[in-house]
């Protein structure tokens, strides 16, 4: 089965104002125009979503949120819900990024609730999993990632799972310039796919997009993206410059 490639840019807490966002969005619009095959998505901060949807309308570049509430509406100060993202024009949402797990106490149970909320409102969840350096050095990377996958997908039915995307992001590779080797990444992606097969079935596992994230740059993208079970990239630092993001998209397209 041939899966597409998806290149997603997680802007995190950048840029600091709408002027910077507008500039980046306009450059992305121009630089990404030639690409016709790979899926492309950008995830700006919440306040810049409308701007992104507006500037990128009539392009192939989708927009997503970086997080969402497990709640739909009500007295939850500071939260943003799935129907809000949907009505802002989002197609994707990142869930359970390691920075949220680390700095905002996000749990596997919370991740599970958020996936359900996203699915209910037809958003494609990009669910992040990955081990810390300590866990890898202790040889626990597979058990940690498996547990995150099992918990995240708990009670999500075979009929509902189709839009779910998993992003394997080893914590030690995020923002560090230290990327997993293509062999290490491929091994974990295959392990995740096998875990999904055990939880669901072979067809679902084969169809699922599994992205790699953690210091993906123009110079390592092609090798990572050509691995059999790596279906795209979740890009942090390198997505803040239109040129480097476009080079990563080009690497993805060159393999399709």
Catalytic sites, residue numbers? 97, 169
Query: Measured from the CB atom, is 182 or 201 closer to ligand PGA?
Result: 182
Is residue 235 at the binding interface for ligand PGA, with CB under 6 A as the rule? Answer: yes
Burial environment of residue 124 by CB neighbours within 10 A (0 to 12, 13 to 18, 19 or more) = buried
Note whether 96 and 129 are within 8 A (CB).
Answer: yes
Q: How far is the CB of 118 from ligand PGA (least distance, A)?
A: 17
Is residue 34 at the binding interface for ligand PGA, with CB under 6 A as the rule? Answer: no
Interface segment toward ligand PGA; rule CB under 6 A; list 27-35, 53-61, 184-192, 232-240 = 232-240
Is residue 236 at the binding interface for ligand PGA, with CB under 6 A as the rule? Answer: yes
Query: Measured from the CB atom, is 12 or 37 closer to ligand PGA?
Result: 12
Query: Measured from the CB atom, is 86 or 100 closer to ligand PGA?
Result: 100
The Cβ-side half-sphere exposure at 119, using a 13 Å CA radius, reads 20
Query: Measured from the CB atom, is 111 or 174 closer to ligand PGA?
Result: 174
Quick one: which of 85, 211, 234, 248 contacts ligand PGA (CB under 6 A)?
A: 234
Give the tokens for residue 27. Answer: 């450059």
Of 25, 28, 31, nearest to 52 (Cα)?
A: 25
Q: How far is the CB of 99 from ligand PGA (least distance, A)?
A: 7
Interface segment toward ligand PGA; rule CB under 6 A; list 14-22, 37-45, 70-78, 210-218 = 210-218
Interface segment toward ligand PGA; rule CB under 6 A; list 52-60, 144-152, 234-242, 246-254 = 234-242
Q: What angle do CA 108, 224, 40 make, to 5 degrees?
A: 70
Nearest residue (beta carbon) to ligand PGA = 236
How many other CB atoms are found less than 10 A from the CB of residue 48?
A: 23
Query: Measured from the CB atom, is 127 or 238 closer to ligand PGA?
Result: 238
Give the integer Cα–Cα distance in Å for 209 and 193.
Answer: 9
Give the tokens for residue 196. Answer: 């999904």
Kindly identify the residues of this chain, within the stretch 153-192, that bind ligand PGA according to CB under 6 A: 169, 174-175
**DSSP character at residue 171:** G
Note whether 172 and 136 are within 8 A (CB).
Answer: yes
Give the tokens for residue 251. Answer: 């690497």
How many H-runs (helices) and E-runs (strands) does the chain carry?
11, 8
Is residue 216 at the binding interface for ligand PGA, with CB under 6 A as the rule? Answer: yes
Query: Measured from the CB atom, is 34 or 175 closer to ligand PGA?
Result: 175
**Distance of CA 103 to CAs 98, 121, 145, Å?**
8, 27, 19
Q: How far is the CB of 130 from ligand PGA (least distance, A)?
A: 9
Is residue 215 at the binding interface for ligand PGA, with CB under 6 A as the rule? Answer: yes
Residue 29: in which H helix or E strand, if any? Answer: helix 18-31
Residues at the interface with ligand PGA (CB under 6 A) = 10, 169, 174-175, 213-216, 234-238
């Amino acid at each position: 089965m041939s899966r597409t490639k998806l290149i997603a840019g997680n802007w995190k807490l950048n840029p600091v104002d709408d002027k910077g966002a507008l500039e980046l969005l306009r450059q992305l619009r121009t630089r990404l125009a030639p690409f016709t095959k790979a899926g492309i998505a950008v995830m700006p901060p919440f306040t810049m979503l409308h701007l992104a949807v507006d500037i990128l309308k009539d392009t192939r570049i989708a927009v997503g949120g970086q997080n969402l509430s497990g709640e739909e509406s009500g007295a939850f100060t500071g939260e943003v819900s799935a129907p809000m993202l949907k009505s802002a024009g989002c197609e994707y949402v990142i869930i359970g990024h390691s920075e949220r797990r680390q700095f905002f106490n996000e749990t596997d149970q919370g991740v599970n609730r958020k996936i359900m909320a996203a699915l209910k409102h037809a958003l494609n969840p990009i669910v992040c999993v990955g081990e810390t350096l300590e866990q890898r050095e202790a040889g626990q990377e597979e058990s940690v990632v498996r547990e995150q996958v099992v918990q995240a997908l708990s009670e999500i039915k075979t009929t509902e799972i189709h839009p779910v995307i998993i992003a394997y992001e080893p914590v030690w590779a995020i923002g560090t310039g230290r990327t997993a080797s293509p062999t290490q990444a491929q091994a974990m992606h295959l392990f995740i796919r096998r875990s999904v097969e055990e939880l669901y079935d072979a067809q679902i596992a084969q169809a699922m997009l599994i992205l790699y994230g953690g210091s993906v740059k123009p110079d390592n993208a092609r090798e990572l993206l050509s691995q059999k079970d790596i279906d795209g990239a979740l890009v942090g630092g390198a997505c803040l410059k239109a040129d480097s993001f476009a080079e990563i998209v080009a690497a993805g397209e060159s393999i399709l």
